[in-house]
Structure 1
């Protein structure tokens, strides 16, 4: 597989998830220019580690890039469990879905949402956003806007990723 083909798959998946090149770059720890060059097929070199990290953020595997494995995972459930790991009460996946779809914090779950924004692995956040968009029948970009709203409202330390 050539880097150009990887770039085409990355672009299609990024758009399907409602991510801008800038946001994807932040999530993957790359520059926007790197993502842009990869998608355009003009990048001269990109390390395997950086490609694997980028694909992981998008929920893709490398050989060949595919979302089949991702589609079998329950992103909202995994994210809700992760957000509840250190707290007495549990944030349920339907509560997380509602929060991600509306930008509103469920009663008594501010800490859970902050943990979700600040501590949940980025791949799980992306899965939760994608699943919420699908269940709510809205574009993923609308869910990302609610994530940014929640991050700002709660003072997330990773808020720069979500804006």
Structure 2
């Protein structure tokens, strides 16, 4: 895949997910300029090696051979909810996570679970959960990302800068 095609794929997937260039850059630990240059089709981007490109694509649910087929078979909300429950007695269900993402409201007693979800879950789990919640709730991913920002303002410590 050439850089132009890669950039177009990244732009399309980023837009589908309702991510800004700035948020995607934070999630992939790249500069916004690097994302911009990639999407603009710049042939050579000094900050974008194979490892950085692989991480960027992973956040978007893609690989160097883009295909969403495997990703669509995964249960993103379930995986993210299980991950958020790993250190806690109470089970945070996929349905509870979906509602929290859709409403920016956390069920009483599950505030730590949301904090764990935002601060500790692999970023691709968060992206899958947002995408799946948007689909189930018949909302745009951008609306769900707005709720992620709201949730992060109250419940995120380690990754607050990514979400806010």
TM-score by length of 2: 0.96
Q: Report what 1:73 is aligned to.
A: 74
Q: CA deviation at 1:157?
A: 2.2
Return the alpha-carbon distance in structure 1 between the equivalents of residues 56 and 80 of structure 2.
Answer: 20
Q: CA deviation at 1:154?
A: 1.9
For residues 86-122 of structure 1, give each alpha carbon's deviation from its aligned partner in whole angstroms, at most 9, with x where no partner exists: 1111000000000001000112101111100110000
Q: CA deviation at 1:78?
A: 0.2
Return the alpha-carbon distance in structure 2 between the equivalents of residues 155 and 72 of structure 1.
Answer: 29
For residues 28-72 of structure 1, give each alpha carbon's deviation from its aligned partner in whole angstroms, at most 9, with x where no partner exists: 000000000000002513211111000000001212x11111101
Q: Report what 1:51 is aligned to.
A: 53
TM-score by length of 1: 0.97
Q: Report what 1:2 is aligned to.
A: 2
Q: Report what 1:132 is aligned to.
A: 133
Q: CA deviation at 1:156?
A: 2.7
Aligned residues: 162
Return the alpha-carbon distance in structure 2 between the equivalents of residues 113 and 154 of structure 1.
Answer: 7
For residues 116-143 of structure 1, give each alpha carbon's deviation from its aligned partner in whole angstroms, at most 9, with x where no partner exists: 0110000100000000000011110110
Unmatched runs of 5 consecutive residues or more in structure 1: none
| Aligned residue runs from structure 1 range 1-163, under 5 A | 1-45=1-45, 46-63=48-65, 65-163=66-164
Query: Cα RMSD between the aligned structures?
Result: 0.9
